[in-house]
Structures are given as C-alpha cells and as structure tokens.
Amino acid sequence: MLPLLAVHPLSAQQSSTITVSPAFAVDGYVAARAPIELTLSRVPTAAEGRIAVFVGTSDLTSLFEAVGSGLVYRSNGVDLPSGESELKVFLVDGPAWNELTRMVIRVLTPRGFEKAQIDPGMELRNTGQLAEGHSGTQPAPARPTYQSIAGTLGLQTTHRRDGWSLSSDTHLLGAGERADALRFGEKGDQASRIDLADYVLRFEGRNTVLSVGHVSAGMNRHLINGFSSRGVTAVVGGPRVSWSVGAENGTSIVGTDNIVGLERGDHRIVSSGLALEVFPARPGALHVDATVLRGSVLATSGFTQGGIISADRSDGYGVQLAASTPSQRVRLAAGLASSRSEFAADPPLSSGSSLVPLQPHRRTARYAEVYVGLMQDRKVFGAIPMTLNAALRHERVDPLYRSVASFTQSDIQRDGVDIGGNVDAVSVQVALVNTADNLDAIASLLTSRTRSSSVTLGTPLASVLRITRGASWLPTVWYAQQRMHQFGAGIPTGGGFTASDVPDQLSVVQDVSVQWQVKQWQLAYRVNQSDQDNRQPGRELADFATLTHTIAVGVMAGSTLSLGLDLGLERQENQELGQVNHVRRAGVTGNWRVTANTTLDGSIRASRTEDPGAGSDTHVSSVQGVIAHGFNLWRATDGTPRGQVFLRFARYSSELFNLGGSFAPPTQAFGTWNVASGLTLRLF
C-alpha cells in the first residue's frame, strides 16, 4: 500500500489550499466494503505533511490508497461503520492537524440495510416490606413482611432499506407472585407469571403503513377517535389523499391468546376513513375526512376496565371538516356523525328473565368550533397593547346515541364561548358554557340545565407598574372565579314529582393567590372561598360555605438542598345545622441531593379538625422519609444509572377525642408504621 504523502515537487500554480471532494453521492448510501474514492485538488508535499482520514471516531487512514491525485478506500475485510457518520480529512504536519473537509457518509449494514438496529431491554424490580407495626384499632396486615419480584423484557427492532422499513416493539411482564401476574384478575391461579403485555409490528413503504398488534384507529370525535386495542391497521396515500382501514378487538387485551386480536367476529370493530387535504401545499387550509364504522362487542370488559356491561352493536358514518386562514387567525372545525345501534342478545345479563328488547335506532351527533384571533398585539387608547382571541363551541348528541368505539355522553347539548388574551401585562381568560339534557322534551323526565362561567385574571405587578429596580419584591397576583348554576327546568309529570324534588343549586368558588420569588426564596399566600347556595323549595337553608387560607414558603439552600413549609386554616360552615368546623394543617418537606446519585426526601405533616357540632376533635399526623441511590454495575452508554435502590420509613397516626357530644363516637386512636424497600435494575 502506498503512503499518503506527496512524492512530486510543487510548481507555483500548485501552492493553493488543498480541497477534497467525494466521488460518491453524499445523499445516498454506499456498501460497507465499497471502494470509496476521494478526489484531492492536488497532492501535498512532504514538507506540508500527510493526509489522515477518519470515519466517525475511527482512523481509517491505513485503508486508503493513493491513486493519482485521489484516495481510494480498500476494505481488506474491514467494514465501514454502518449508518450515518462523519467523514473527516486532515492535513497532518507534526502536532498540527488542519481539517481539510468533513462530510456525511451513509453506509449500508453488511446485509445491505440502510439501518438495522436491535435494542433489547430488561428491567428487574423488587418491592417489599421489611417491618411494620400497628396500634389501637388498626388491624394487623395479612403479610407483615414480604418481598415481591417483577420484571419487564422488551425488544425493539428497526430495519430500513430502499424507502421501506420494518420495525417492532414488544414487552413481556413477569411477576414472582401469581397474584401479581398480568392476567390474574382474568384467569386467577391459571394466569401465567410471564405474559405478553403489548407488541406492534409496523411496515412502512412508499405511501403505505401497515401495523399489526396493539394499534389505534379512527379520527371521528363521536364515532371512533383513537380507539386502541389489538388488531390490524393500514394507511395508504400521500399528502393530498389518504385511506385508512382498521380491524380491532372489541376491548383491550393482553397475553398470547388471540395474538392478532381478530379471532371473534362478534367482538370486533372495523372502521375505514378517507382524508383529503384540498390544498396539500398548505396543510390545514381545508381538510375533509369521512369515516365509516361497523362494530360488535360482547359483554366483556377490557383488560383495565370493570363493571356490569352488556353486549352491543352499532354501525355508523361521519364527516368532519377543518379549515384555517393562512395566518391561522380564523380556524373552523365541524363534524356530523350518525350511528345505528342495538343491544345484542345477552343471556348472562338477563339471567333467564324476559327482557323487553330495545329496538334498533339511528341517532346523530354534531359539533362545531370557530376560533377567531380578534386582536393581535394591537394598541388601544394609543398605548396599551392588547391581544384577544375568541372561540365559539357547539355540541349536540341525540338521546340514545351510542357507538361501540366512542364513549360519548348522549342526550346532551353544550354551547359555549371562550375569550382569552392579554391586556398589557394582564392575562385574561373568560369562559361561558350552557348545558342541557332531555333534548326530546319528554314530559315525565327531569330536564336539567347548567349555566357555568369562569373568569381568571393574572399579572406580575412589576410589569403593570413599569417597575424594574427591585421588581422581584413585587408579587404575581391571580384571581379566579367559577360560578355554576344547576337547576331543573320544570316539574316532570306523571311521576308524583313536586317542586321540592327539583334540584336548584348555585355554587360560587373564588380564589386569590399572591406569589413572590426573591432569589432562592419562594412565598405564596392563597385565599379560597366556596359557597353552595341551595335554592330548592324546602331546602333553602341547606347551604355550605368554606373559607381556606394557605401559606407556602420554600427555599433553595444551595444547589442540593430545598426546604418547604405549608400552613393552612380552613373554616367549614353547615348553615342548615348551624355548625362550624375548623381545620388546621401544617407540613414541612425537604429534599437533599446528598451526591449526584443519592437523594433524601422527607416530610412531616399534622392536622387538627375541631367539630363542635359532632362533639369531636381529631388529630392526624404523618412522617415519611425516603433515601434513594442510583448505581451502575457497569458503565451505561447513555450515562444514566442502571439501577436504583430505596429505603422508606412511613408513620401514620390518628386520634379522635369525644368532647361530650351525644352523637360523637367514643374516643379512639390508631397508628401504623412500616419500613419498605425497593430495587430497580436495568440490565440492558
């Protein structure tokens, strides 16, 4: 192999700076052992030094051969680093390294992939209780001490070549105790200790995406919107038009049973959608999508759900539209969905009884939202900058509207307006919402109305007063009010209702907070007042009022220690019974970063509730301390600790004193304490 040094004398015309250009396409990929060629504008002299070539952090100079005024890479069985790397060329003259050029080089893997990555992951977890104690009326726990082991095994893969890619993401969960198994609630003692939690296989080609496993489908608000379960989805199309289709299990599932999620046709949701960007050069200018759905679900709850449910079927269609101006100052979104639903036969639910079937019916749901930027940093009164935005919202869902793939509340209409922005340095948010039900005006049903409003104002006083010197001593002030009136519109007929059976309640919540930030100190004072006015005939005095004062102080003592103090005083009044309760609270918290990987957290809290009406006085206290330490068994590539161990002590006590009230419970006290431990270890 020839040394990369000049062997020819230079003429006067050759004394210019050396430039290097690639003889390969820098925007494409090259094979791992391809004869890469670099062209030099001229060959350096021996006095100027020698050429050195690096790919990534590897010095590959010895594998480049001088051919005329160029350099050619001869692999000799050594592969270039796969993936995207930087190729740098230097002119080396003793200790001086002068960079001539740098460029990106993309190298295929030995099997010809542009990217081939396999990332396994394994994490072990241990939680346990080392000791515990209890006193008073507190019963002994079923397991005073225990240790529980669990783990997660994951695998992520990516393979990409010639515009297509195949990726996967899989997670297995394991548990040392059968009761902690992933499907113990479903299979009991038959549940496997190691089970499949989720997986997804994703193929992406030119204008095509196919996914199998735990997928999500749908984009219609009232029909199917991001419904997630195990199944298959596909999307075909480009920036102007795309078509999607999905078939999924009716509820979320885990485990290795029904691996694709499509084994049962009577427990399946199938949907398809067509999306159109009318002006693809400006996405969002005018977007239209249409969705169709057909689904059937059995009386089976999802993996994370519970409750009594029934078998259901529905099919429907929906159309949505979204548009915006180029400046985004005006935006519109609207949609209409129609769904035909029916309750399927469900023998377990009927339990042998004769049920009156609900006839199949078709209902609709609609929504519309308009956003308008009314003012954008416009000066009013010649000097005050103002930004003001408004949004109008409408939604109506017909009575008995249902879709098996959307959890939408039916028989309701909401209309609202939101106004927000800034007046100088004052932030302003206003919202008004009206809600109504019994949209078919059935005389025997109670018709409810809700009128709610909210106002929020906030500002840093220093900005409003134009104060710069000592501005940190002036607080940020917030005021918020929420008002809600819930009442029945009329008295239902045919059910023996009277005016006293119709609810009518007004609730008003006001909140004022003042916050200071002075160097490492933080101080906040907050007042919250809540009033509940019952206007129902015969219940006019059933009112409640609550007034709460809280103070919070925090300080950063250096870069590793933070301390906090919370004080609270609450007054609760039951105006119907003429009773007033007082609650006092206090708490101290702290966090100390002992070392880069070791932290110590602690808290002490206490409260006292005086209830003269009930003749009782309750004292509650808690103490908690946690020390956690992160560690590395070996050096992690990302620099984060591979493991963490913690030890936690917690104590809780409660004492109730009878002050002589005839209805107060007897004096009683109980307490608990425990020492818990935990270990998390990320093996790879």
Q: What is the mean pLDDT of the segment spanning 472-498?
A: 91
pLDDT(6) > 90: no
Q: Which residues contact 525 (CB under 8 A, 6 or more apart)?
A: 513, 514, 549, 550, 551
Residue 213 burial (CB count, 10 A): 20
* CA distance linking residue 245 with residue 201, whole number of Å: 16
Contact 336, 318 (CB under 8 A): yes
* CA distance linking residue 404 with residue 296, whole number of Å: 7
* CA distance linking residue 652 with residue 649, whole number of Å: 10
Element (H, E) at 305: none
1 against 50, higher pLDDT: 50
Q: Quick one: pLDDT at residue 81?
A: 83
Instruction: Give the DSSP letter of residue 659.
Output: -
* CA distance linking residue 136 with residue 606, whole number of Å: 19
Query: For residue 650, which amino acid is it?
Result: A
Confidence label for 497 from pLDDT (cuts 50, 70 and 90): confident
Q: Quick one: pLDDT at residue 3?
A: 41
Could you tell me how far CA 616 lies from the centroid of its own chain?
Answer: 43
Q: Quick one: pLDDT at residue 379?
A: 87
* CA distance linking residue 569 with residue 550, whole number of Å: 6
Tokens 């790919």 locate to: 55
First-to-last C-alpha distance (Å) of the chain: 42
Query: For residue 611, which amino acid is it?
Result: D
Tokens of 100: 């001539």
**Domain range list for the chain:** 12-112, 207-350+360-409
Tokens of 310: 């029934």
Instruction: Give the DSSP letter of residue 89.
Output: E
Contact 625, 605 (CB under 8 A): no
pLDDT(481) > 60: yes
pLDDT digits (tens, 9 = 90+) for 161-174: 988 999 999 999 99
Confidence label for 640 from pLDDT (cuts 50, 70 and 90): low
Which SS3 state, helix, strand or coil, does residue 536 take? Answer: coil
* CA distance linking residue 401 with residue 362, whole number of Å: 7
* CA distance linking residue 374 with residue 621, whole number of Å: 53
* CA distance linking residue 150 with residue 146, whole number of Å: 13
Q: How many residues in the chain? A: 684
Q: Which residues contact 144 (CB under 8 A, 6 or more apart)?
A: 129, 131, 132
pLDDT(412) > 80: yes
Tokens of 323: 């548009």
Name which CATH class applies to 12-112. mainly beta
Nearest alpha carbon to residue 156 among 117, 115, 110, 206: 117
Q: Quick one: pLDDT at residue 9?
A: 40
pLDDT digits (tens, 9 = 90+) for 646-674: 999 999 999 988 876 555 567 788 999 99
Contact 397, 408 (CB under 8 A): yes
Contact 132, 672 (CB under 8 A): yes
Percentage of residues in the chain with pLDDT exceeding 90? 64
C-alpha to C-alpha distances, 112 to 34, 107, 160, 409, nearest whole angstrom: 12, 9, 9, 53
Confidence label for 306 from pLDDT (cuts 50, 70 and 90): low
C-alpha to C-alpha distances, 231 to 196, 202, 499, nearest whole angstrom: 15, 12, 53
pLDDT(2) > 50: no
* CA distance linking residue 410 with residue 408, whole number of Å: 6
Tokens of 372: 């308008």
Contact 648, 622 (CB under 8 A): no
Nearest alpha carbon to residue 194 among 172, 179, 177, 213: 172
Contact 549, 518 (CB under 8 A): no
DSSP secondary structure of 358-409:
PPPEEEEEEEEEEEEEEEEEEEETTTEEEEEEEEEEEEEE-TT--BTTB---
Most confident of 330-334, 353-357, 463-467: 330-334
Which SS3 state, helix, strand or coil, does residue 673 take? Answer: strand
CA atoms within 13 A on the CB side of 347: 0
pLDDT digits (tens, 9 = 90+) for 127-174: 999 999 999 888 888 889 999 999 999 999 999 998 899 999 999 999
pLDDT(24) > 90: no
Which SS3 state, helix, strand or coil, does residue 317 take? Answer: strand
Contact 326, 316 (CB under 8 A): no
pLDDT digits (tens, 9 = 90+) for 48-98: 899 999 988 888 888 888 888 888 988 777 788 888 889 999 999 988 999
pLDDT digits (tens, 9 = 90+) for 161-214: 988 999 999 999 999 999 899 998 888 899 999 999 999 999 999 899 999 999
pTM of the model: 0.82
Could you tell me how far CA 641 lies from the centroid of its own chain?
Answer: 24
The answer for 257, left when phi > 0, alpha when psi is -120 to 50, beta otherwise, is beta
pLDDT digits (tens, 9 = 90+) for 502-558: 999 999 999 999 999 999 999 999 999 999 999 998 888 899 999 999 999 999 988
Q: What is the mean pLDDT of the segment spanning 17-40?
A: 86
What is the SS3 string spanning 25-75? CCCCEECCCCCCEEEECCCCCCCCCEEEEEECCEECHHHEEEECCEEEECC
* CA distance linking residue 365 with residue 14, whole number of Å: 79
pLDDT digits (tens, 9 = 90+) for 558-608: 889 999 999 999 999 998 888 899 999 999 999 999 999 999 999 999 999
CA 250, 256, 258, 262 dihedral sign is positive
Percentage of residues in the chain with pLDDT exceeding 70? 92
- Percent helix, percent strand, percent coil in the chain, to nearest 5: 5, 60, 35
Average pLDDT of the chain, as a whole number: 89
pLDDT(10) > 70: no
Q: Quick one: pLDDT at residue 665?
A: 63
Contact 218, 233 (CB under 8 A): no
pLDDT digits (tens, 9 = 90+) for 256-289: 999 999 999 999 999 999 999 999 999 999 999 9
State the burial class of residue 496 (Cβ atoms within 10 Å of its Cβ: 0-12, 13-18, 19+). exposed
Q: Quick one: pLDDT at residue 136?
A: 87
